[in-house]
Amino acid sequence: YHLPWRLDVVGDGPARAEVEALFAPFGERITFHGLVNDENRMAGFYANAELLVWPAVNEAYGMIFLEAAVQGCPAIAGAYGGVPGVIRDGESGVLVSPGDASVFSAALSKLLGDPAHRAAMGKAARNFVRSERSLTGAAQILRRSLAPLIANTSERTGIG
């Protein structure tokens, strides 16, 4: 409790009552918003957040991290599945061993105490999404990857 923080919990599911009970000791620091299907409202949550905190247990890809990153919100998550492909550890967020609550907690405490680092990671997260995960960025990566293949084919066939 020694650091100033608030947590907005967005989402719903069968374990909601259990999750609310676990967070009850934190009182007014926690706000439960339930299920939010409005993209603009979700973008607002990300834009106003200083950090996305999600353990990403069994996360196949991690679209939530890209959605946050485009709003300049860095993340802390478990390094599971496709998550390391959307969070650059130490640059656009922090990755920890999946399921290790003590490591997750320590990383979270460190980030909460370092607003400048969080802000820098937020900028890096936004830049990462814009340069590598946008349609334009993906097209440029594909073009760079295919250019040598096309050149080799042209040289061998005389076409191009």
> Side-chain half-sphere of 90: how many Cα atoms within 13 Å?
0
pLDDT tens for the chain, 160 residues long, are: 577 899 999 999 999 999 999 999 999 999 999 999 999 999 999 999 999 999 888 888 888 999 999 999 999 999 999 999 999 999 999 999 988 999 999 999 999 999 999 999 999 999 999 888 777 877 787 888 888 887 776 666 666 5
The Cα–Cα gap between 122 and 128 comes to 10
User: What element of type H or E holds 85?
Assistant: none
Question: Considering the domain 38-134 in this protein, what is its CATH number?
Answer: 3.40.50.2000
The Cα–Cα gap between 71 and 43 comes to 7
Measure Cα distances from 33 to 8, 21, 51, 67 in Å: 7, 15, 17, 18
The Cα–Cα gap between 96 and 118 comes to 16
User: What element of type H or E holds 58?
Assistant: none
- For the chain, the domains span 38-134
The Cα–Cα gap between 47 and 35 comes to 18
> Side-chain half-sphere of 153: how many Cα atoms within 13 Å?
6
Q: What is the pTM of this model?
A: 0.80
